[in-house]
Structure formats: C-alpha cells, structure tokens
Structure 1
Amino acid sequence: MSTELLTPYEKGNLNQTTTWSECIAWYEDLARRFPDVLRFEKVGVSDAGVPIHAGVVSGDGVFDVEAIKRAGRPVFFNNNGIHPGEPEGVDGCMALVRDFCLQPERLAALGRTVFLFVPLYNVDGAFNRADTSRVNQDGPELFGFRGNSRHLDLNRDFVKCDTLTAQVFNRLFTTWDPDVMVDTHTSNGADYSYTMTLIHTQPDKLGGGLGEFLRSEMLPAMYADMERRGWPTCPYVNPVQDSPDHGIADFLETARFSTGYAALHHTIGFMPETHMLKPFKDRYESMRALVETALEFTVANAGRIQALRRAAREEGRTRGEWPVRWKMDADNPSSFRFKGYEAKYKKSVIGDYTRLYYDRSSPWERDIAWYNRFPVDVSVPAPQAYVVPQQWREAIERLQLNGVQMERVESDRVQRVAYYHVLSVLSRPSAYEGHLFHDEVKLDRRIGQVQLRAGDYIVPLDQDRARYAVETLEPLAHDSFFRWGFFNSVLEKKEHYSDYVFEDTAEALLREEPQLAAKFAEWKAENPGLITSQEAVLDFIYANCERYREPEWNRYPVFMIER
C-alpha cells in the first residue's frame, strides 16, 4: 500500500488520532483518487462555523440519495467522533473506507448496500485538543473534547437540537433513513477483561418484530462473530450496584442519545463502547471489528431488516395506543456469562473512607444477572392527529427536520380537542445540557374546545414518521419537547391580584361559584396549616375560580384531535 494512503493513525505509533484538518484533507484526496467508489462532501456547518462532512461508499458508483431510496437499497450508517476524546472510530472508519477503495472484493461484498458515514461529527470539540480531559483513559497521546463550542454534549442533543450540528444530523439522518446505525464511543466505568462492550437499541423499546429480531437474531450473531474475530464482547457494563458482580442492566437509551433517536425512525442502532483502560491500539482494532461485524450482518440480512422496518411503520399508522415510557423489570433478570476481576475494598490513603478497586490478579468467569427486559411503563391513547399552534415554532422546526408530514389549518375555526392540564412538574435543581429538564410531570387529560388559527399545524398519525411525532409531542415521553422545556411559558400565570382588593372579591366568588366553594372546603380540610396564610388562601381561590381563569395557564399547548 502506498504510504500516501496510510491514515495518520497508521503512520504514527498506533497511539495517535487524526486531527480534523488531517482527516478532511485525507478523505478529500481519497475521493479524488476513487470517484467511482467514494463521494465526500460538506453537509453543513457547526455552531463554531466549522464544516461538517459526510461520505458515501457505493459498489456501483451510484451516490444520489433519491436514486438509492427509489431503488430500495439498504443504507448502513457509521457515525464517528461525537465525543472526540473517544476517537478510535474516527481512525477505524478512515482505514475501512480506504480498504473499500483498494480492495475490489471488499467493495463487491457490499452488494446493493450503501455505506454512509460521518468522519468526525463533533468538529468543534475536535479542535479542543489536549491529553487531560479523559482522566481515566489510556491514550491516545492527544485527543479532542467531549463538549462542542457551546459546551454541550451532542449525545444529549438529538431531540432538543439546540446546536446547528444536531440540526445537520437530523436532516442527514432523515434524508438517508438508514436501516442500521453504528455510533462509535469509549466507555468509563468498571474494570473487566473485555475491550469491547455494546450498547444497542433496547429491544423492548424498539418494539414489535424489529425489536425481537434484534434481541433473538442480530445480537447473538454479532456477539458470536466478535468472539470469532478475537474480540469477545459483552453488553455495556452498567452495574446495578457498585460492581458487575451484582449484575448489569441494559442502558435505556432514550431519544436524547443517538440510538434512542434512531429508534424514533425505526432504525436499529448500536453504540459500541470500548473500555477506556485498554490500550488505544486494542480499542481501535476492536472498534473496526465491531463496525465490520454489524455491516456484514446488515448486508446479509438487509431484506428482512427493511421488511421489519416497513411493518413497524405500517403498524404505527393504525395503532390504538402508543408506549411512551419503559421501565426495567427488576424481578426477572436474564443472565450473561461474564469475565470480570474480583471487586475488593480497602481503606483510602487520601480520606477516611473505604474505596473500591479491581484485582486483576483475581480474574473470574461466571453467570451474572442481566436486566435486559424493559416493559412498557406508560402508554397513551393514539389520537387521529395532533395540533401544534404555529407560534410554537421550535417544535415545528424539529418536526420538519425529521420529515414529519403536517397540514396547515386553512381558516380560523373552533375545534373540539383533548388536551393536557399540567398539575405539577419537578425539574432538576441545576441546568442539564442547557435546560432545566423536567424529571417528573403530572397531568390531567381533559376535553374542551380551542380556537385554531389559519396556519396552525395538523400532525396526522397515519404516516411513516408517527413514532417521532408521538415521542416528542406526548409530554410524558422520556425526552418529549415538553420535558426539555420547549413550552415552559405556559407554566406561568400572567396576571395577579392585590390582596387588599381581592379579599372582598374572593368572598363574593365563593358565594357565586359553588364548585369553587366545594374545592376550597376540601383544600382547607387537607391543609389546616395554611388557613392562617392570607397569601395561600387567596392564591388558591384565584387559581381555581372560573371568573379570572387564564385558559392558557398550565394548559399544554399541543392538542389532540381524537379518532
């Protein structure tokens, strides 16, 4: 092989990762040399103004996405460098794409499948290079930083899309609609013998025939193939207590994460996590093996995967209810044959406490509990359609980015709808990825009439993108727009009262509104300690009376047209 086609990783001491500039220049040169194999181009710009690129490898020189989709060709997507401090996928993808160009038999093995890739997703973080931000990691010598230029973690941004980078990704993903995705990472956590661990789309959450196919066929085949390649792989080590000895649990990757986002599009997603304590060379080689394993299975089983995806979308058009939350079954674990190190404890030398450590001189292999079942925890009735008033443009823009079909209301009209009244929210005490995320939400479902305006959006569920619409617009969903704070202004009452004036008004309201009087009597019985507080008493009457009610206050502003 010409030294010109070696990657920066291969040219070095196998403990270095490419810079952004080297990476892009290398791919551009490769695309010029092999125009019938590789197309490589800019697909957007990051928040810091840095170009974001994507590439396509095709065995027959067809690169146009519309032509590829019309022909029903399978698409495999490899995303790299979302956390530039975890770069083995970046370097491994470069070598794999180069080998497609140089090895005709490898290219031919793709068949009709198209290999789509993003070489380095978090381009902003790639420029923030050092050797200090990954405190527990063994190499490479220099690497990028987890946060982007806005100090946001892009693997928490797929649904809320605060960043231009995530918006580029949403557009690219929706346009290509991949059948399988691998998003490459490095893990922190416990110590054990495995170099490669694997997060996958949680099969129960993926649901239906597609989820069962992933659980019973694809995952076992991939684990067996990784063993054959010399890289035994285990599920992501997510201990239910302090060490794997007590069992591990599947990671419930909600829609903020890449694989959870992919599930909204009925795409099977993998997030391989190499072990940070293993040498970079081993992490690189195991990551390349994992990507090839997933790719080869996809090529061999593409027809079935595509059929299962079509079936999932068709089911979504007519289903009577939608699951929006899942919860681990703590009572019925499976088991996994795990190779670990003895977890031990000793007195810390820097503080007055006992610390955990792993004794590598005491390896063990035994079955441990594997909590890999996540039954539905919350379901909601499926409406015929949602109504998103046009003023909530942040939600509308994200629906559009993801190809959700919407219709505009043609003229003003009064519409009977179901809607949610927000009873309470409990938010995180500090900012999380730029938002005060609502951890707990309590709602009351009501029926009423609302005024729709010409230009408001109707979102029917008789469409392929129904799942994305449901899991973003239903407020109880794990990563709904509401939980990320898109509609926070409705949680504030806009008018108030002067107590010395409202005191007399409140007395009249209790006489004139029997329902209010009954509610007030019940409130007093439940809160005897508050009856001495003028503020508490008047607040209750003001908030619950009909005359001065603000209909928009605590009314979730996305409505449901029932079937």
Structure 2
Amino acid sequence: MSNELKTPFEKGNLNQTTTWAECIAWYEDLARRFPNVLRFEKVGVSDAGVPIHAGVVSSDGVFDRETIKRSGRPVFFNNNGIHPGEPEGVDACMALVRDFCLQPERLAALGKTVFLFVPLYNVDGSLNRADTSRVNQDGPEQFGFRGNSRHLDLNRDFVKCDTLTAQVFNQLFTAWDPDVMVDTHTSNGADYSYTMTLIHTQPDKLGGALGEFLRGEMLPALYADMEQRGWPTCPYVNPVKDSPDHGIADFLETARFSTGYAALHHTIGFMPETHMLKPFKDRYASMRALVESALAFTVRHAERIQGLRRAAREEGRKRAEWPVRWKMDEANPDSFRFKGYEAKYKKSVLGEYTRLWYDRSSPWEREIAWYNRFPVDVSVSAPRAYVVPQQWREAIERLQWNGVRMERVEADRMEEVGYYHIVSVASRPNAYEGHMFHEEVVLEKRRGQVLLRAGDYIVPLDQDKARYAVETLEPLAHDSFFRWGFFNSVLEKKEAYSDYVFEDHAEELLRAEPALAEKFAAWKAANPALLANQEAVLDFIFANCERYREPEWRRYPVFMIEK
C-alpha cells in the first residue's frame, strides 16, 4: 500500500486520530482515485458553517440514491464522530473504505448492499481539539470535543433538532432509509475486561417480529462472531447498582439518541461503546471488527431484514393501539456470563467517605443478572389522523424532514376532534440540552369542536412513517415534541384579573355556574391550608370558571380525528 493511502492513524504511532481537514481531504483524494467504488460529497453545513460530508461505497459503481432505493437494494449506514472525543470509529471507517477500494474480494462481498457513511458527524466539535476533555480515557493524543458549536450534545438532538447538523442528519437518514445503522462511540463507567460493549435498539421497543429477530438471531450472531474475531463483546455495562456484580440493564435508548431515532424508522441500530480504559489501538481494532461483523450479517440476511421492516410498516398502518413508553421489567431478569474485576471499597484520601475501585488482580467470570426486558408501560389509542395547525411550524418542519406524509386542509371547517387537556407538567429543575424538558405530564382526554383552517396539516396514520408521527406527536411518548417544549406557550394563561374587583365578581360566578361551585367546594375540602391565601382562592375560580375560559389554555394543540 502506498504511503499516501494510509490513514493518519496508520502513519502515526497508533495513538493518533485524524483531524477534520485531513479526513475530508483524504476521502476526496480516495474518491478521485476510485470513482467506480466511492462517491464522496458535501451533504450540508453545521451551525458553525463547516461542511458535513457523506460517502457511498457500491460494488457495481451505482451511487444514485433514487436508483438504489427504487431497485430495493439494502443500505448499511455507518455514522462516526458524533462525539469527536470518541474517535476510533472515524479512523476505522477510513481504513475500511480504503480497503473496499483496494481489495476487489472485499468489495465484491458487499453484493447488492450499499455502504453509506458519515465520516465525521460533529464537525464543529472535531475542530475543538485538545487532550483534556475525556477525563478517564486512554488516548488518542489529541481529539475533539463532545459539544458542537452551540455547546449541544448531538446524541440528544435527533428529535428536537436544535442544530443544523441534526436537521441534515434527519433528511439524509430519511432519504436513504438504511436497514441497519452502526453509530460509533466510546464508553465511560465501570472497569471490566471487555474492550467492546454494545448498545442496540432495545428489542421490545423496536417491537414485533423485527425486535424478536434482533434479540433471537442478530445479537447472538454478532456476539459469537466478535468472539471469533478475538474481541469478546458484552452488552453495554449499565450497572443497576454501583458495579456490574449486581447486574446490568439494557439501555432504553429513546428517540433523542441515534439508535432510538433509528427505531422510529424501523431501522435496526447499534451503538458500539469501546471501553475508555483500553488503549486506543485496541479500541480502534475492536471497532473495525464490530462494524465489519454487523455489515457481514446485514449482507447475508438483507432480504430477511428488509422483509421484517416492510411488515413492521404495514402493521403500523393498521394498529389500533400504539406503545409510546416502555419500562424495565425488574422482576424477571435474564443472565449474561460476564468477565469482570472484583469491586472493592476503601477510605478516600480526599474526603470523609468510602470510594469504589476495581482490583484487576482479582478477575472473575460468572453469570450476572441482565435486565433486558422492557414491556410497554404506556400505550395510546390510534386515531385515524392527527391535525397539526399550520402555526406550529417547528413540529411541521420535523415531520417533513422525516418523510411523514401530510395533507393540507383545503378550506376552513369545523371538526369534531379528540384533544388532550394538560392537567399538569413537571419539568427538570435545570436546563437539559437547551430545553426545560418535561419529565412528568398528566393529561385528560376530551372531545370538542375546533376550527380547522385552510392550510392546516392532517397527518394520516395509514402510512409508512406512522411510528415517527405517533412518538413525536403523542405528549406522553418518551421524547415527544411536547416534552421538549415545542408547545410551551399553551401552558400560559394570557389574561389576568385585579383581585379587589374580581373578589365580588367571583361570588357571582359561583352562583351562576353550579359546576364551578361544585369544583370549588371540592377544592376547599382538599386544600384547607390555602383558604387563607387570596391569590390561590381567586386563581382557582378564575381558572375553572366557564365565563372567562380561554379555550387554547392548556389545550394540547395537536388534535385527533378519530376512526
């Protein structure tokens, strides 16, 4: 191999990762040299104005996306560098693409499968290079930063799409509709013998036959293959207590994360997490092995995977109920034979407390509890369609970026709809990724007449993208648009009162509205301590009276057209 085709990792001391400029220039040169194998191009720009690129490897020189999708060819997607301080996937992908160009037998093994890749996703963070942000990590010598130019973590941005980068990703992913995705990472956490650990789309959340295929066939095959490749792999080490000794749990990757987002499109997703304490060269080698293993399985079973994805979409068109939240089954764990180090405790030299440490001189191997079942916790009845009024542009844009089919209302009309009244909301006490995320939401289902205006959007659920629509528009879903604060203005009552005037008027309202008087009596019985608080008393009457009701206040503004 000529020296110019070696990657920066290979040219260095196996403890170097490429810079963004080196990476892009290297791929552009490779694409010029091998135009029948690789197409590499800009697909968008980041918030800092830095180009974002994607590449396509095809065994027969066909790169046109429409042609590839029209012919039903499988697509395998490798995303790298979402956290540029975890860069082994960036370097491993470079070498793998280069080997597709140089090794005809490797390229031919792709068959009809197309290898789609983003070489370095968080381009902003990759330019913020240092060796200090990954506190516990063993190499490389210099690396990028987790946050992007807006100090946001892109692996929390797939639904809310605050960043231009995530908007580019949503549209790229939707356009190519990959069958399997591998998004490369490095883990923090406990100490153990494994270099490679694996987060996967949680099978119960993926659901149906596709989820069972992942659990029963694909995951066992990947674990066995990684063992043969010399990189024994275990599930992501997510201890249920302070160390793996007490058991580990699957990571319920909701739609804010890459694999959870992929599940909204019925795509099988993997998030390999190499162990931070292992040398960079080992993390690099195990990452390449994992990507190759997942790719080889996809090539062999592509027809089956595609068929299961089609079946999942067809089932979604007819669902009477949709699950929107899942919860770990704590009573019925599975088991996994784990290779760990003895967890011990000793007095800290820094303060008056006991600290955890792992004794590498005391390795162990035994069965541990593996909490890998997540049954449905909350489900909702499926309407025939949702209505998203045109003024909620942020929600509409994201539906469009993800290929959701929508129809415009042609003329103003009154419609009997279902809707949610928002009883209460409890948010995180601190900002989370630029939002006051709503952790707890209590709803009341109601029906009523609303005016649909010409230009509003109807979102039918008889479509392939039904799952994306449901899990973003249903407020109780883990990562719904509502939880991320897209509709916060409806939580604010717009009019107020002057207490000295309203005090007398409130008595009139209680006489005129028997339902209000009944509610007020119940409230007084339940809240005797508040009766001395004029503001609390008058606020209750003002909020619950019919005379001054604001229809839009606390009415969730996405409506449901029932069956």
The TM-score, its normalising length taken from structure 2, stands at 1.00
The farther-off stretch of 179-188 and 532-541 is 532-541
CA positional deviation for 1:473: 0.1
**Deviation sequence 1:470-518 (CA, Å, 0-9, x none):** 0000000000000000000000000000001111110000000000000
Q: Within the alignment, does 1:427 sit opposite 2:427 as a pair? A: yes
For the residue of structure 2 that corresponds to 1:531, the secondary structure is helix
* Corresponding residue number in structure 2 for 1:255: 255
Deviations 1:295-338 (A, max 9, x none): 00000000000000000000000100000000000000000000
Q: Identity of counterpart residues, as a percentage? A: 87
For the residues of structure 2 that align with 1:15 and 1:421, how far apart are their CA atoms?
Answer: 56
Which residue is 1:175 aligned to?
Answer: 175
Which whole-Å CA distance do the structure 2 matches of 1:529 and 1:150 have between them? 46
- The DSSP-based 3-state class of the residue aligned with 1:142 is coil
Determine whether 1:539 maps to 2:539: yes
Distance 1:117 1:377 in 2: 35
Q: Write out per-residue CA displacement over residues 118-139 of structure 1, whole angstroms, 9 at most, x where no aligned residue.
A: 0000000000000000000000
Structure 2 residues not aligned, in runs of 5+: none
Offset of residue 287 of structure 1: 0.1
Q: Distance in 1 between matches of 2:67 and 2:149?
A: 36
Residue 128 of structure 1: SS of its match in structure 2?
A: coil
- What is the match of residue 53 of structure 1? 53
- 1:358 equivalent in alignment to 2:355: no
Which residue in 2 is equivalent to 1:291?
A: 291
What's the CA shift for 1:532? 1.4
Q: Distance in 1 between matches of 2:523 and 2:140?
A: 63
Deviations 1:223-279 (A, max 9, x none): 000000000000000000000000000000000000000000000000000000000
3-state SS of 1:521 partner: helix
Q: Give the match for residue 150 of structure 1.
A: 150
Q: Which residue of 2 aligns with 1:223?
A: 223
Matched residue type, 1:214? L
Kindly report the root-mean-square deviation, in angstroms, between the aligned alpha carbons of the 2 structures: 0.3
| 1:533, distance to aligned residue in structure 2 (A) | 1.3
Cross-structure match for 1:498: 498
Q: Which residue of 1 is the match for residue 513 of structure 2?
A: 513
- Residue 18 of structure 1, CA deviation: 0.1
Matches within 5 A, 1:259-408: 259-408=259-408
SS state at 1:418 partner: strand
Hey, what's the Cα distance between the residues in 2 that align with 1:296 and 1:209? 21
Q: Which amino acid in structure 1 is aligned with residue 560 of structure 2?
A: M
Deviation track 1:40-64 (CA, whole Å, cap 9, x = no partner) reads 0000000000000000000000000
The SS at the match of 2:340 is: strand
State the alpha-carbon separation in 2 of the partners of residues 467 and 442 from structure 1.
22
In structure 1, runs of 5+ residues without a counterpart are: none
Q: Secondary structure at the match of 1:405?
A: coil
Separation (CA, whole Å) in 1 of partners of 2:527 and 2:354: 45
Aligned 1:411-422 pairs, distance under 5 A: 411-422=411-422
1:119 alignment partner in structure 2: 119
Partners of 2:195 and 2:301 in 1: CA distance: 27
Write the mapping of 1:101-250 to structure 2, written as runs, cut at 5 A: 101-250=101-250
Whole-Å separation in 1 of the counterparts to 2:51 and 2:36: 24
Give the alignment of 1:423-502 within 5 angstroms: 423-502=423-502
Following the alignment from structure 2 to structure 1, what is the Cα–Cα distance between the partners of residues 7 and 307? 37
Distance 1:215 1:362 in 2: 32
| Alpha-carbon displacement from aligned partner over 1:97-156 (angstroms, at most 9, x marks no partner) | 000000000000000000000000000000000000000000000000000000000000
Structure 2 counterpart of 1:315, which letter? E
Q: CA deviation at 1:220?
A: 0.1
* Matching residue's letter, 1:373: R
Encode CA deviations 1:362-387: one digit per residue, 9 max, x unaligned.
Answer: 00000000000000000000000000
Q: Structure 2: which amino acid aligns with 1:543?
A: A
Q: What is the DSSP-based 3-state SS (H/G/I as helix, E as strand, rest coil) of the residue aligned with 1:345?
A: strand
The aligned length equals: 563
1:534, distance to aligned residue in structure 2 (A): 1.1
CA distance, structure 2, for counterparts of residue 507 and residue 548 of structure 1? 14
Moved more, 529-538 or 201-210: 529-538
